[in-house]
Structure 1
Amino acid sequence: MNVMLFHSTHGLRPAVHAAADRLRAAGHEVWTPDLFDGRTFEDVEEGMEFKERIGKEDLLRRAVLAAAPYAERHLVYAGFSLGASVAQTLALGDDKARGLLLLHGTSDLAPNASVDDLPVQLHIAEPDPFETEDWLGAWYLQMRRAGADVEIHRYAGAGHLYTDPDLPDYDREAAEATWRVALGFLASLEEDQPAR
């Protein structure tokens, strides 16, 4: 599969490169755009402040420009936290998207969002301070109404960004389970999905 993998508010950190390498080792082609111009942040608040300075519209513009050269390759959009919300927005706007892999985050949907059975897999902590139960329930219903085929995988007791080994949220068991399931998801897209 061709995977466009977006980073979190921490920026394009080693964990994102390691995730991309893991996917490449399974035979996937992966791109990791840097939406933060080389800036990385240990502290999530600093990353959030930087994101706010860029602004939502400019952040999405950067993501669209990064993905556009590969759009004809029927991309799987993927991302971590903030990057997941970016990936979701792009996937819902790309009628050639093959799938959507969300790690640690979601986004609101445009009222007119519509897809044709887009396969979506979400991996998220339980509980997650940024993705409340009420929000996830509403998000799931909206995604289903939009036409997405959604799976949600929860990881009890894990921190928000539990796949990043350099952050306090890291949970090795949850991270390994996530990657095992996510790789299966990508393999299923390769086997079962016709070109859109």
Structure 2
Amino acid sequence: MNIVLFHSTLGPRPAVRQAADRLRDAGHQVWTPDLFEGRTFDTVEEGMAHQDGIGREELLKRAVLAAAPYSERGLVYAGFSLGASIAQTLALGDHRARGLLLLHGTSDLAANASVDELPVQLHVAEPDPFETDDWLSAWYLQMGRIGADVEVHRYPGAGHLYTDPGLDDYDAEAAEATWRVALGFLESLQAAQAGE
């Protein structure tokens, strides 16, 4: 699959490159746009301050420009936390999108959002301070209403960014389970594409 993988509010940390390498090792083509121009952060507070300084519209513009050269191929949009939010926004606006892989995050849906059975997989901690149970329930229902085919995987006791080995949030067992399931999801998308 052709995958664009967006980083979290902590920027393009080593964990993003490691994730991309894992996906490449499974045979996928992966691009990892740097929306922060090289800046990385160790705390969510620092990252969010930088993110807020750039602004959501500018981040989306950067993301669209980064994905545009590859979108004709039919992309799987993926991302971590902030990056998941951006990936969701782009995927729901791209009729060629092949799938959406969300790690640690979701986003609001545009009022006119509509997709044709877009495969979506979400991996999120339970509980997650940024993705509350009430929010996730509402999000799941809304995604179903607009035509998405959604799977949600929860990881009890894991930290918010539990796939990043460089953070206190890291949970090795949850991270391995996430990648195992995510790679299976991507394999199913590959099989569906091959059957077209």
Calculate the TM-score normalised by the size of structure 2. 0.98
For 1:180 and 1:190, locate their aligned partners in 2 and report how far apart those are by CA, in whole Å: 15
CA deviation vs aligned residue, 1:63-110 (integer Å, no higher than 9, x gap): 000000001110000000000000000000000000000000000000
CA deviation vs aligned residue, 1:128-149 (integer Å, no higher than 9, x gap): 0000000000000110011000
Q: Specify the alignment match of 1:169 in structure 2.
A: 169
RMSD: 1.1
How far residue 194 of structure 1 moved from its aligned partner, in angstroms, is 6.7
Q: Specify the alignment match of 2:156 in structure 1.
A: 156
Identity of aligned residues (%): 78
In structure 2, the CA distance between the partners of 1:2 and 1:37, relative to structure 1 (3 Å rule), is same
8 Å CA contact retained: 1:8, 1:79: yes
Q: Specify the alignment match of 2:191 in structure 1.
A: 191
For 2:90 and 2:84, locate their aligned partners in 1 and report how far apart those are by CA, in whole Å: 10
Q: Specify the alignment match of 2:105 in structure 1.
A: 105
How far residue 43 of structure 1 moved from its aligned partner, in angstroms, is 1.2
For 2:52 and 2:80, locate their aligned partners in 1 and report how far apart those are by CA, in whole Å: 17
8 Å CA contact retained: 1:74, 1:195: no
The unaligned stretches of length 5 or more in structure 1 are none
For 2:132 and 2:182, locate their aligned partners in 1 and report how far apart those are by CA, in whole Å: 22
Calculate the TM-score normalised by the size of structure 1. 0.98
How far residue 193 of structure 1 moved from its aligned partner, in angstroms, is 3.9
For 2:161 and 2:56, locate their aligned partners in 1 and report how far apart those are by CA, in whole Å: 21
For 2:146 and 2:195, locate their aligned partners in 1 and report how far apart those are by CA, in whole Å: 20
Alignment of 1:22-41 (within 5 A): 22-41=22-41
8 Å CA contact retained: 1:98, 1:195: no
Q: Specify the alignment match of 1:49 in structure 2.
A: 49
Secondary structure of 1:37's counterpart equals coil
8 Å CA contact retained: 1:78, 1:100: yes
Q: Is residue 2:86 matched to residue 1:86?
A: yes
For 2:87 and 2:7, locate their aligned partners in 1 and report how far apart those are by CA, in whole Å: 10
Give the total of aligned pairs.
196
Secondary structure of 1:78's counterpart equals strand
* Equivalent residue letter for 1:40: T
Q: Specify the alignment match of 1:128 in structure 2.
A: 128
